Chain A
């Protein structure tokens, strides 16, 4: 079977348990089992070729530009691990079927488990280190899900997060390391990297790459000082602990060290880092493990310790060490997995994992007793069990290893660690199974159904078989070891055997076992000593560190994003000034090319007014009415300024915009208090003032600089001036630009206006639908209302003016193409005519007399403008291509018709609709507030003799 399929099967199969969840637990587990079995069979089908010495490959391009390709490769090492993962996986699935209770969502469990399995197989079969990274992180993620599987347990959630944080950190470091490695080797394919040992080790980036990769390996394989997450991962269901956190996932780091062994090992850096980390982890884990009362915690620390042992073996960089490592990986997987399963059985049957509440189980659970004892003895390193053999090899390797000077240091430490290792193994047997039978177990323990004891039993058979007949395993171990060595070193000559004579290793081993037994007899005083020793609790430290980070993050985030707009705007202004200033200072400029215009006294007076009004506005902005008046003054002077600089169109537009804006703002003022409350103290005012002045000065200086210099090439407006009539049919260049040259901009802008009106409408609706409505209804006006809100004079006057203003609007519209004017201004003027009616007679009265909804007017305007543009498609021209012609209808003189006028009509309608819709929206607020509707145009009407209306609203 193709390697792709082997890797993909668990992923594809992961969907099945989730779907089949309702079909029953056996179906669910059975399907999962079948999926794993198929993958295993598929894997084994490649074995003959592998044994012939071939390397099985499967390659397909994924992201060739980066060098990240889905390349899979299976050599001895990969096959060994894959078999371990899938084989133990089968046992775990069978075990989990019985272990999980009815309350547990089995489909979810097996889905996660298969995801993990696929990812793990992916790691060991990857030929591409980037793809390996993908699988690597996937195991972290699936482990996260599995640890947190019992969502209601806080330990599960916290353990899951801790595991993800630590292994995630390692994974991220490894991304960096792998990228560097790939850059050095010129390829991300392992098969290439493994050939480039000298190149890589000579590179100055070797050390950073090594450290980063080792960070990944150490976090994953729980090496000191990252070991602390593993015991907390024990909150997961026991099958998960047995599978991920003892047999497979935690070996991923070790796998990677073995995989990279040919290129990374052999340097002093590798030796010191890896050996030290391994040795410390080994000893530390063993010591702590002895004093744990939770069965799973004890096993967790023993796992940490044994992982350290293997790491150390890889660290020494010798071929013999590598072989010992491979052998111990196999042995540890068998006995530790069996031990975890037995711990799970005890937990399952006795409802506790606390060693202090157990003891004397040997008669109650004979089967479990046998299984656990065999596995534990193997862990202790007792002859005839497989653990003994690899531990001997480790001690042998240790006896040749020297760290930091003294020869005795490493062997002494190792013996010390092995002693504790033996001790906790004996404790597992002694304090749980031996001793007096008790009467206070939380539940009456008995042996579990076969589904639960059979899987560990199978493993213990292996433990014994390998232990007694090591020559059976030796060919496989040598085969895998040669894959680890990758041709950089010769296979060691030593054989795996029970008896090598009296070697230093045997002596150390003897000391350790004897010492272990003594330690167990002295357990009570030792425990007292241990409990009295102050030591950092990893979880407390970790939680504190995370809490500090979260606290810092919270402070930084909330200080920065405190919602104060002045702060945001201040930072924006300063950033602009800084960036602009930097650009200004680093640029060069020549002398100005233009003469300044002479200062005209009238103009100067105007500018002075502008400045005074603005300054006054800044000072008086809290008085809203005054501020509005000052704004009107500023707007007027700006309009005059436009006129002064020969831009009559702009001036007209500006004036009408000013009028409309001020009217709308006046309406808005109706709902606001007269005075804005003061929100900043003097310090803030000074600070903001400085920032504002700096911004203003910068803008002024830069503008002056620009005004004094010419374009780099003739500007495009010269073309517009030259061609406005010839191409656009109009002599008012500004209008032709608006409706023709750049009609598309105008199209956008009228849409902006239209949207603005729609937004104002929607906003009003939202307000009136919410709490604001009640506030409006209960609002008491803060000033007495006018007794005559719709005065007779005003009503009459506006009625008279209306047709006149409309005429002006139409006139301005028509002449727009050739003289100052156009749809935009006309729309505003007509809007003013209508607004006057509303002001005079009130919203309700006027609105009843207006037949076209303003939404429709906006929509029509945009549609007319758009359809004018689309119309040119009919003649085969681009959007908004104008056409015009001259017509003569007797007896009139010849006149011009231009499609641009139609477009301008759209502009006109959109502007009109937008203004009126905004007005309407404000009025709606007003009507809800306090104004009684009137059906009459004016409050006091001499021709009407209705006493009720007199004085209404006063």
Chain B
């Protein structure tokens, strides 16, 4: 029996508890443990992904209870890929948080960070839908803590909206779960797949509503319009490393949609036919448009990036909403791209913020920032990735999605929105970059003109003021961008992997068998002394056995 599958959940949980218990007053120790934890997480995740890469579906029965009665974790290609992506992202984000000192600006950063890891990992690995709810709660509350890390009025206000909105989502989740349980009598995803398929089409009302409500829950997490309203302020106001980490949080929603709506409610299921397939694609396109229009319509860099996130989630959902193997495969490619690009942009924005002082991230000219010669190219590259311009993975992803939507009924609308919104994003990002990185030189030149006498011209210092160059931060950002480059260059092998992953999703039978066919705890042996004969009727016998103990 291998326990690796549960390690990505237990390790950060234990580590977080340990940090709270032992090293909460020792910043450097907490950093060391946190970093070591993330590195180990990455190693474990790589191992899991390697194991799953040949199509093996790993399964772990918690408490040795057979599915569907206990909780199971499932490590297939999709979940291990997401786990690996999370751990890689976490490593760079943590490096940045440590380098920039964000982790010192409030209490319990590292403990919350680890708990957050636990929540995300759990959400990706669990094979039980109620357990998914639990992990949604874990990651919601941890993310709330991280979001308001180090406080501030605006941040706290945004945090309140964030947590309130998501609590509405949690309530809906619980309600939807109740409905699903009332219809099927089970919570295990594989078992759900079996039972939902048994529901007669003439008695489908309940499961249809339940399926849609559940989709709305995931849509909130994935910030699909019109359920995205929680995102702009909370991402913009969150501390940069946290916003960067949140890049994966929206993907949790997307992951859940992909998982549940290929496994439990597959597109060809009769009982739920003609349901979300009808409106998910238009809605996704609206989200894409709203996001990219927001990129053009905001006047702060961090909000701009937040809207770009909404846009990219719209793009991702567009691909998912096709519910074809090509669409899902393109979506999976895009997931990795979007996560890394978003994270890099938020981190870059933070460098800009810290360099600009009072101007903050307002899109207006301010004196040039220290290290601008490094930060500006980083922004340029990240913006290229985000807007989906060549040569980075955003472009590859966009091509894959455009290609996948060819031949679908809404192809022209889809193309028009995707390409049009790309243009809007390009305009928005170029305006922002030009104001933040270029216009500052005009100010600098004017300032120089004022202070330098006419005859001294020609011997000016270069415009960039020499200042502290944030090494660790730049390394973290450059690392993320380098991964984007790798993601682009290795697009061939990566898409092959995604195709195989998609194929696994679209043939759910092995998944279902891997979960349901494994026996759990051996219940044949008598729990009590054989001679006392409690085994015939466990309920009755239990009461008997309980009596003497109760008396002590």
Contact between B423 and A568, CB atoms less than 8 A apart = no
Bits for A48-88, please: 1 = Cβ < 8 Å to B, else 0: 00000000000001111110100000000000000000000
Contact between B13 and A894, CB atoms less than 8 A apart = no
Interface residues in A84-122 (C-beta closer than 8 Å to B): 101-103, 105
Residue of chain A at shortest CB distance from B126: A744
Question: Is B510 part of the contact surface with A, judged by Cβ < 8 Å?
Answer: no
Bits for B199-216, please: 1 = Cβ < 8 Å to A, else 0: 111111111110111011
List 29 contacting pairs A-B, 8 Å CB cutoff, sorted by A: A65-B492, A133-B390, A141-B389, A144-B430, A148-B434, A152-B463, A153-B442, A165-B423, A550-B296, A554-B297, A556-B297, A557-B294, A557-B298, A568-B230, A709-B182, A724-B539, A731-B539, A741-B65, A742-B131, A743-B62, A745-B71, A755-B112, A766-B148, A771-B153, A819-B550, A856-B21, A863-B14, A879-B62, A886-B529
The smallest beta-carbon distance between B447 and chain A, in angstroms, is 11
Contact between B492 and A61, CB atoms less than 8 A apart = yes
Contact between B209 and A584, CB atoms less than 8 A apart = yes
Most central of A141, A553, A859, A878 by chain B CB within 10 Å: A878
Bits for B123-159, please: 1 = Cβ < 8 Å to A, else 0: 0000000110011011001101100111111001000
Q: When the two chains form the complex, which single residue of B141, B206, B431 contacts A706, counting CB atoms closer than 8 Å?
A: B206
Most central of B206, B232, B442, B543 by chain A CB within 10 Å: B206
Most central of A729, A751, A860 by chain B CB within 10 Å: A751
Query: For the complex, what is the distance from the CA of A587 to the CA of B212, rounded to whole Å?
Result: 12
Contact between B13 and A751, CB atoms less than 8 A apart = yes
Contact between B297 and A766, CB atoms less than 8 A apart = no
Contact between B213 and A576, CB atoms less than 8 A apart = yes
Query: For the complex, what is the distance from the CA of A893 to the CA of B549, rounded to whole Å?
Result: 8
Contacts of B198 in A (CB 8 A): 712-713
Residue of chain A at shortest CB distance from B544: A731
Contacts of A554 in B (CB 8 A): 296-299
Contact between B131 and A748, CB atoms less than 8 A apart = yes
Contacts of B523 in A (CB 8 A): 723, 726-727
Contact between B168 and A569, CB atoms less than 8 A apart = yes
Contact between B151 and A769, CB atoms less than 8 A apart = yes
Q: When the two chains form the complex, which single residue of B70, B275, B389, B521 contacts A168, counting CB atoms closer than 8 Å?
A: B389
Question: Is A719 part of the contact surface with B, judged by Cβ < 8 Å?
Answer: yes
Given contacts A762-B112, A861-B17, A866-B14, 18 further A-B contacts (CB under 8 A): A137-B395, A138-B390, A157-B439, A160-B434, A172-B423, A554-B297, A556-B297, A575-B216, A582-B275, A589-B205, A713-B198, A741-B65, A742-B71, A758-B108, A762-B106, A762-B108, A860-B17, A879-B10
Query: For the complex, what is the distance from the CA of A699 to the CA of B165, rounded to whole Å?
Result: 18
Contacts of A169 in B (CB 8 A): 423
Most central of B64, B184, B202, B230 by chain A CB within 10 Å: B64
Question: Is B466 part of the contact surface with A, judged by Cβ < 8 Å?
Answer: no
Query: For the complex, what is the distance from the CA of A158 to the CA of B333, rounded to whole Å?
Result: 35
Residue of chain B at shortest CB distance from A101: B458
Contact between A731 and B542, CB atoms less than 8 A apart = yes
Given contacts A66-B403, A172-B423, contact A895 B203 (CB under 8 A): no
Contact between A571 and B390, CB atoms less than 8 A apart = no
Question: Is B379 part of the contact surface with A, judged by Cβ < 8 Å?
Answer: no
Question: Is B90 part of the contact surface with A, judged by Cβ < 8 Å?
Answer: no
Most central of A135, A161, A164, A731 by chain B CB within 10 Å: A731
Contacts of B200 in A (CB 8 A): 590
Question: Is B233 part of the contact surface with A, judged by Cβ < 8 Å?
Answer: yes
Query: For the complex, what is the distance from the CA of A64 to the CA of B444, rounded to whole Å?
Result: 49
Contacts of B211 in A (CB 8 A): 583
Question: Is B164 part of the contact surface with A, judged by Cβ < 8 Å?
Answer: yes
Residue of chain B at shortest CB distance from A562: B229
Query: For the complex, what is the distance from the CA of A504 to the CA of B489, rounded to whole Å?
Result: 55
Contacts of B422 in A (CB 8 A): 172
Q: Which 9 A-B pairs rank lowest in CB-CB distance, beginning with the nearest?
A: A766-B151, A715-B185, A859-B21, A731-B542, A553-B297, A711-B185, A557-B297, A725-B542, A587-B205
Contacts of A135 in B (CB 8 A): 390
Q: When the two chains form the complex, which single residue of A561, A756, A761, A894 contacts B107, counting CB atoms closer than 8 Å?
A: A761
Interface residues in B1-50 (C-beta closer than 8 Å to A): 1, 3, 6, 10, 13-14, 16-22, 24
Q: When the two chains form the complex, which single residue of B209, B290, B389, B442 contacts A151, counting CB atoms closer than 8 Å?
A: B442
The smallest beta-carbon distance between B419 and chain A, in angstroms, is 4
Question: Is B358 part of the contact surface with A, judged by Cβ < 8 Å?
Answer: no
Question: Is A767 part of the contact surface with B, judged by Cβ < 8 Å?
Answer: yes
Bits for B440-468, please: 1 = Cβ < 8 Å to A, else 0: 11101110000000000011101100000
Question: Is A487 part of the contact surface with B, judged by Cβ < 8 Å?
Answer: no
The smallest beta-carbon distance between A103 and chain B, in angstroms, is 6
Query: For the complex, what is the distance from the CA of A709 to the CA of B179, rounded to whole Å?
Result: 11
Query: For the complex, what is the distance from the CA of A335 to the CA of B34, rounded to whole Å?
Result: 65
Interface residues in B231-250 (C-beta closer than 8 Å to A): 232-233
Given contacts A169-B423, A589-B204, contact A765 B13 (CB under 8 A): no
The smallest beta-carbon distance between A450 and chain B, in angstroms, is 22
Most central of B191, B212, B384 by chain A CB within 10 Å: B212
Question: Is B120 part of the contact surface with A, judged by Cβ < 8 Å?
Answer: no
Query: For the complex, what is the distance from the CA of A756 to the CA of B196, rounded to whole Å?
Result: 36
Residue of chain A at shortest CB distance from B149: A762
Contact between A896 and B399, CB atoms less than 8 A apart = no
Question: Is A890 part of the contact surface with B, judged by Cβ < 8 Å?
Answer: no
Question: Is A721 part of the contact surface with B, judged by Cβ < 8 Å?
Answer: yes
Residue of chain B at shortest CB distance from A699: B175
Contacts of B207 in A (CB 8 A): 587
The smallest beta-carbon distance between B120 and chain A, in angstroms, is 12
Bits for B157-170, please: 1 = Cβ < 8 Å to A, else 0: 00001001100100
Question: Is B533 part of the contact surface with A, judged by Cβ < 8 Å?
Answer: no
Contact between A752 and B141, CB atoms less than 8 A apart = yes
Contacts of A587 in B (CB 8 A): 204-209
Question: Is A175 part of the contact surface with B, judged by Cβ < 8 Å?
Answer: yes
Contact between B539 and A745, CB atoms less than 8 A apart = no
The smallest beta-carbon distance between B344 and chain A, in angstroms, is 17
The smallest beta-carbon distance between A559 and chain B, in angstroms, is 10
Contact between A719 and B69, CB atoms less than 8 A apart = yes
Query: For the complex, what is the distance from the CA of A160 to the CA of B17, rounded to whole Å?
Result: 53
Question: Is A501 part of the contact surface with B, judged by Cβ < 8 Å?
Answer: no
Contact between B108 and A881, CB atoms less than 8 A apart = no
Contact between B106 and A579, CB atoms less than 8 A apart = no
Contacts of A950 in B (CB 8 A): none
Given contacts A65-B495, A579-B212, contact A748 B137 (CB under 8 A): yes
Query: For the complex, what is the distance from the CA of A558 to the CA of B299, rounded to whole Å?
Result: 10
Interface residues in B45-99 (C-beta closer than 8 Å to A): 60-65, 68-71
Interface residues in A739-786 (C-beta closer than 8 Å to B): 740-745, 747-749, 751-752, 754-756, 758-759, 761-763, 765-767, 769-771
Contact between B209 and A580, CB atoms less than 8 A apart = yes
Contacts of B196 in A (CB 8 A): 712
Question: Is A192 part of the contact surface with B, judged by Cβ < 8 Å?
Answer: no
Given contacts A175-B402, A818-B546, contact A152 B151 (CB under 8 A): no
Interface residues in B468-499 (C-beta closer than 8 Å to A): 489, 491-492, 495-496, 499
Contact between A152 and B442, CB atoms less than 8 A apart = yes
Question: Is B359 part of the contact surface with A, judged by Cβ < 8 Å?
Answer: no
Residue of chain A at shortest CB distance from B200: A590
Contact between B529 and A869, CB atoms less than 8 A apart = no
Contact between B60 and A134, CB atoms less than 8 A apart = no
Query: For the complex, what is the distance from the CA of A664 to the CA of B184, rounded to whole Å?
Result: 39
Question: Is B220 part of the contact surface with A, judged by Cβ < 8 Å?
Answer: yes
Residue of chain B at shortest CB distance from A68: B399
Question: Is B512 part of the contact surface with A, judged by Cβ < 8 Å?
Answer: no
Residue of chain B at shortest CB distance from A64: B492
Query: For the complex, what is the distance from the CA of A747 to the CA of B549, rounded to whole Å?
Result: 26
Contact between B402 and A179, CB atoms less than 8 A apart = yes
Bits for A857-879, please: 1 = Cβ < 8 Å to B, else 0: 01111110011011011001111
Question: Is B181 part of the contact surface with A, judged by Cβ < 8 Å?
Answer: yes
Most central of A136, A561, A729 by chain B CB within 10 Å: A561
Query: For the complex, what is the distance from the CA of A756 to the CA of B111, rounded to whole Å?
Result: 12
Contact between A730 and B542, CB atoms less than 8 A apart = yes
Question: Is B391 part of the contact surface with A, judged by Cβ < 8 Å?
Answer: yes
Contact between B226 and A571, CB atoms less than 8 A apart = yes
